[in-house]
Structure 1
Amino acid sequence: MYTPELAPLADSLLWSSMIAILPLMTIFLTLGVLRWKAHWAGLAALAVAILVAVVVYGMPAHLVALSATQGFAFGIFPIMWIVLNAIWLYELTVRSGRFEDLRLVINAISDDPRVQAIIIAFCFGGLLEALAGFGAPVAITGVMLMAIGFTAMRAATVVLIANTAPVAFGAIAIPIITAGNLTGIDYEHIGAIIGHQTPFLAALVPLFLVFLVDGKRGLRQLWPLALVVGVVFGISQFVSSNYLSVELTDIIASLAGLAAAVLMLRVWKPVGGQDALAKMAEERDADATSPSDAGADATSGTGPGSGSEVGSSQVDVQSPPRTGAALTPGRVFLALFPYLLVIVIFSASKLAGPLSTWLEATDITIPWPGLDGNVLTADGEVTTSTVYALQWLSSPGTLLLITGVIVALVYRLSVRDAVDVYLTNVVKLRYSILTVAAVLALAYVMNQSGQTITIGTWIAGTGAAFAFFSPILGWLGTAVTGSDTSANALFATLQQTAAENAGLDPALLVAANTSGGVVGKMISPQNLTIAATAVGLVGQESAIFRKVIWWSLGMLVALCLLVGLQSTTVLSWMIPVQ
């Protein structure tokens, strides 16, 4: 049996942490500086993690290999299973021609791309995060923005940053519930504290999106709408998490934000939309005429937008021609049908008690052969992370597959067409599947060998000042695993113990771990790959990373300051009493 040491190198937590962080530095270096393709970056970081686990931590080589295989399997199912079926659902709408109608429906609300970014990436993306999570919002909203005219890089950047606001309460508050189960702290109390942290970010995210789409001009022209939507979303998060339901927080906030946008557009019309459209058209023309890595990768595996925009490679070629007649109620309904169906199916699976219980009962737990029972935690207890959960029916990916089958039937697509679209996507996603599987293998090796807990324990050794640094652990955990839930599984109990030793509020720091993970998701190699795959920029994950890393770090610093002040008398009044 293997028991990880906290300080295996010279009995020094500092030096051990410097070695343990090498796999993460490899990711950041290869993606951000050397500009490697994501699958090579992931494989290189995995190799470094394996080397550190065997040579420094003394983990038996066969257990290291088994840890990597478990992570690899988790990367394929459920993570890429979700992404594959999310993109397949979108491609079915393209093949049927209904996506053209969806463009018209969205334009009927507003043809301003800055408004569309708020409605699709922030509001609708938030709803998808609330119901599904695990990369589905990034994949679906990414291709939607591409289809209405966004360039691939701008679409990827917008959806990654938009996906920050709802993450803490995503998938019916699974990250928060996980933290509560692990620490014994009432998860509703943890959620209430998070409701005093993340709404400040949520209120600003629509402003960030407008700036990303149209720069300072867009902010000057559209700040009233962006601010109203963000503030309504943030207030709804606060009210729901503190007084209504932690589980329903993101659903309520997303619908409230969407309602605020629609209502405000009835009484206030932004200016400059045509200028923004012209700017985007120029960008698309520039992308189409200049050589790029995306073009080089077009034959080696791209997502739906393998050209400069979806329309050039998918809609115009594969879609049946649509008439120019005005939209009828029937066409509007069919255009919205896939996304309404997603909401219905996911809401039923999460909120209908008997159905949710039945779906969870179909899950199969598999003690990983040769690994389960042979790895202990640093405290000497048998770790539970060596048990693989096969959610063959309850997985969001399976629910998206069911949704896709129903959509194909309603759209009267032949079985041959539906299967052809699916198999084509599998081929296109092959490098993305490899990337995500490698990154999850890296995460499992780091976690089970003890590298991650070494880094966390070192950061937690700062005493009372740890409150300022506590969100960094959540940020780090989510950056590695791509999941706020996984970050809480890694660090929630560590945050609790560090808080008790430093005389701080354990619930505050556990909440800070979750909030920190919110801003770490956009830079996780898993999410970068999903975004790149969705918009057809496979191989350019490093370019996307360089565009979002500063946003992530900036929001992380703001969170650190907020949590640090909440741990002192300055802002302690903000923390709800249990």
Structure 2
Amino acid sequence: MTFTQNFTAVGGSLAWSAVVAVVPILYFFWALAIKKMKGYMAGLTTLLVSLLLAVFAFKVPTATAVMSATQGAVYGLLPIGWIIVTSVFLYNLTVKTGKFNIIRHSVLSITEDRRIQALLVAFSFGAFLEGAAGFGAPVAISAALLVGLGFNPLYAAGLCLIANTAPVAFGAIGVPITAMEGPTGIPALEISKMVGRQLPFLAVFIPFFLVFIMTGFKKAWEVMPAILVSGISFAVTQYLSSNFLGPELPDVLSALVSLFALAIFMKFWQPKTIYRFATERETTATLSTNESYSGATIVKAWSPFIILTIFISFWGIPAIKSALTGHYEGSNILLKGVNTLGQALTFMPEVPFLHNQVLNGTTGEPIAAVYKLELLGAAGTAILLAAIVTKFILQISWRHWGTTFMETINEIKFPLITICCVVGYAYVTNAAGMMTTLGLMLAKTGALFPFFSPVLGWLGVFITGSDTSSNVLFAKLQQVTAESVGMDPVLALAANSSGGVTGKMISPQSIAVAAAAVGLVGRESELLRFAVKYSVMLLLFICILTYLQSNILAWMIP
């Protein structure tokens, strides 16, 4: 039995249908921020609410709605949950072996100032991981590193969520941008150019914003030279690479330039006073520790994350990624061998009662639905391999290694439930057409659409947890609506991606990932309340910028 998406299912009205479609979003905010439910309970009940509305309001067959939830839950486990498990596991190995104390010392040797540490780890290193892997890896790993350095878990998670804003649009080797080329026919390079003329403004601002949140304006002003080096080096590299190289490398290049520029700058400049948290003592700018380690010892301590970076970078290279997922069509003998293994470890079973059973409400075409199980190609597998290599480098017994792995799974079992539920909710709303209903309602804003265009991306990322998913979902709608109101389609597509990055920090998936990484399981509501106001502020900035670029700043459009 097929189901055709109906965007005016409630009373034959788009407006009333949109009101019903927004209910699960409002419920989730209420459950976490006001009712202060534990994350997994908020996720589970939000999924139930979306299922009820899909079945009774949007007339989705019960079996279809339930199976769409299972498709989302499977995606929540692989690749997203798999990344979290392996990331936290790798971090736990460094802690259990005592190597993290050496890592901590090496960061302190650059600076003991907590403000600069946040810029190095949350902003620059996190952006590098976003560019290489995407999904939950940047927040999970960088937040865990900050906690290990002595940051309050809530602040560590919150700062990493906010810092992850600037790089998200070019994450995972540019996939969010390239994903829009197919459905729209607009070259990815053109979209990349436009995004590269929006996000650098955020990239300059985010480092200051992070330090301001931590310390207030006066303390932020004290390290303004370091903030400017971090933000400007990132923004300039992001603009140049996105406009002249394409969407694949802006994150990786910007992060590396920013990281090394700030580290080198700190060799010649230090703040007059070292900022520490209230539980610590503020001192003059001198390194207080008497410990010293050789270069080889420091490199060995960092080796798990160096290996992680190498594996993730390889996993992100398009040709290798194709081979790992069994889709390589080139002539390289080695990659053909990897492709054979990738095919054996890639499973795409059709989702019962869902595959080709939902007809697109706009085109009438059936929508394919499969359980996407790319065991070798998942970024989490790259991290697991890094953990295996780490076992030999750090000389950990298999028994100790396995025990740590099981402890990690037990530690984050509730966040995994949360992620499965919220991704399941996203898939239910997509199958029912509820997300498109909200998009069509925003498209009715006419001349004000350039202002509201980024809100579509924000909503899409909030619900799906992915800028890529949001871009695929709304790219065609943005293009058609922009053409109808006289807005440049390239600007609308860029606005969807740029607006989406501001929703990443409050996406239920991101909240669950961050909470799991820093041990805040059950306190997701605190993290949401911490991040939501900043998400709305940054979204408003992108809305205003997009509106101006559609009018008086139209010269910025490529």
TM-score by length of 1: 0.90
Which of 313, 316, 320 is 1:355 aligned to? 320
Question: What is aligned with 1:296?
Answer: none
Match of 2:94 in 1: 93
Aligned residue type for 1:151: N
Structure 1's 385 and 179: CA in aligned 2 closer, same or farther, altered over 3 A? Answer: farther
Cα pair 1:359 1:393 within 8 Å, conserved: yes
In structure 1, the partner of 2:502 is 519
- In 2, the alpha carbon distance for the partners of 1:373 and 1:44 equals 28
Q: 1: CA distance between counterparts of 2:155 and 2:173?
A: 29
Give, as a single letter, the amino acid of the residue that structure 1 aligns with 2:401. A
- Equivalent of residue 376 in structure 1, options 323, 342, 359: 359
Amino acid at match of 2:321: S
Shift of 1:4: 1.0
Task: Return the offset for 1:388.
Answer: 2.7
1:456–1:491 CA contact under 8 A, matched in 2 = yes
Query: Per-residue CA shift, 1:36-77, capped at 9, x if unaligned?
Result: 111111111111111111111111001011111111111111
Aligned 1:243-258 pairs, distance under 5 A: 243-258=244-259
How far residue 468 of structure 1 moved from its aligned partner, in angstroms, is 0.6
Report the CA distance between 1:214 and its aligned residue.
1.9
Equivalents in 2 of 1:562, 1:142: separation in Å?
Answer: 30
Letter in 2 for 1:366: P
8 A Cα contact 1:499 1:509, kept in partner? yes
Q: Equivalents in 1 of 2:242, 2:170: separation in Å?
A: 9
Give how far 1:354 is off: 4.5
Query: Where does residue 554 of structure 2 map in the other structure?
Result: 572
Q: Deviations over 1:125-163 (max 9, x none)?
A: 000000011011111011110011101111111111011
> Which residue of the partner structure matches residue 230 of structure 2?
229
Are 2:465 and 1:499 aligned?
no
Cα distance in 2 between the residues matched to 1:385 and 1:484: 21
The code of the aligned residue for 2:34 comes to V
Separation of aligned partners in 2, 1:13 and 1:64: 21
Paired with 2:34 and 2:15, the residues of 1 have a C-alpha distance of 25
Q: Are the structure 2 counterparts of residues 385 and 161 from structure 1 closer, same or farther at C-alpha, using a change threshold of 3 Å?
A: farther
Q: Which runs of 5+ in 1 are unaligned?
A: 284-322
| Alignment CA distance shift 1:282-1:224 (3 Å) | closer
Distance 1:194 1:373, change over 3 A: same
Distance 1:348 1:381 in 2: 39
| Counterpart residue number, 1:550 | 533
Query: 2:487 is aligned with what amino acid?
Result: L
Partner SS for 2:314: helix
Instruction: Please state if 1:419 is matched with 2:418.
Output: no
User: 1:356, CA displacement in angstroms?
Assistant: 3.1
User: Contact conserved, 2:36 with 2:525, CA < 8 A, in 1?
Assistant: yes
CA distance in 2 between counterparts of 1:421 and 1:174 reads 33
Rounded to whole Å, the distance in 2 between the matches of 1:432 and 1:415 is 26
Q: Matched residue of 1:241: which SS?
A: helix
Query: Greater shift after overlay, 154-163 or 206-215?
Result: 206-215
* 3-state SS in 2 of match to 1:469: helix
Aligned length: 533
Q: Distance in 2 between matches of 1:335 and 1:280?
A: 27
Deviations 1:161-200 (A, max 9, x none): 0111100000001100111122111011101100000110
What secondary structure does 2:444 align onto?
helix
Structure 2 counterparts to residues 389-428 of structure 1, below 5 A: 389-428=372-411
CA–CA distance in 1 between the matches of 2:391 and 2:536?
42
What residue number does 2:300 align with? 334
Structure 1 residue aligned with 2:267: 266
Amino acid at match of 1:45: T
Partner amino acid for 1:390? L
Pair 1:385–1:439, CA change in 2 (3 A): farther
2:234 alignment partner AA: F
What is the CA-CA distance between 1:540 and the residue it aligns to? Answer: 0.9
Letter paired with 2:222 = Q
RMSD after superposition: 1.5
> In the aligned structure 1, how far is the partner of 2:321 from the partner of 2:47?
36
Q: CA deviation at 1:414?
A: 0.5
In structure 2, the partner of 1:217 is 218
Q: Distance in 1 between matches of 2:316 and 2:466?
A: 19
| Pair 385,120 (structure 1): closer, same or farther in 2 beyond 3 Å | farther
Cα shift at 1:387: 2.4
Q: Distance in 2 between matches of 1:50 and 1:549?
A: 25
Residue of structure 1 equivalent to 2:330: none
Report the Cα distance in structure 1 between the residues aligned to 2:159 and 2:368, rounded to whole angstroms. Answer: 33
SS in 1 for 2:522: coil
Shift of 1:501: 1.6
Instruction: Report the AA paired with residue 411 of structure 1.
Output: L
The question of whether the paired residues in 2 share the 8 Å contact of 1:480 and 1:525 is answered with: yes
2:430 to 418, 441, 447: 447
Report what 1:147 is aligned to.
148
Deviation of 1:207 (Å):
0.5
Counterpart of 2:309 in structure 1 is: 343
Deviations 1:540-576 (A, max 9, x none): 11111111111000000000000011111x1000111
Report the Cα distance in structure 1 between the residues aligned to 2:524 and 2:196, rounded to whole angstroms: 32
Q: Would the alpha carbon gap of residues 250 and 103 (structure 1) be closer, same or farther in structure 2, given more than 3 Å must change? A: same
Identical aligned pairs, as a percentage?
Answer: 39
1:325 Cα deviation from its structure 2 partner: 5.0
Decide which moves more: 233-242 or 367-376.
367-376
Structure 2: state its 5+ residue gaps.
283-288, 327-341
Q: Residue type matched to 2:193 in 1? A: A
1:51-66 alignment to 2 at 5 Å?
51-66=52-67
Look up the SS of the partner of 1:6 in the other structure: coil
Q: Is contact 1:150-1:280 (8 Å) kept?
A: no
Runs of 4+ in 1 over 3 A off after TM superposition: 280-283, 380-385
Task: Please report the TM-score for the alignment, with normalisation by the length of structure 2.
Answer: 0.93
Q: Could you list the per-position Cα deviations for residues 410-454 of structure 1 after superposition, in whole angstroms to 9, with x for gaps in the alignment? A: 111011111111111111111101100000010000000111110
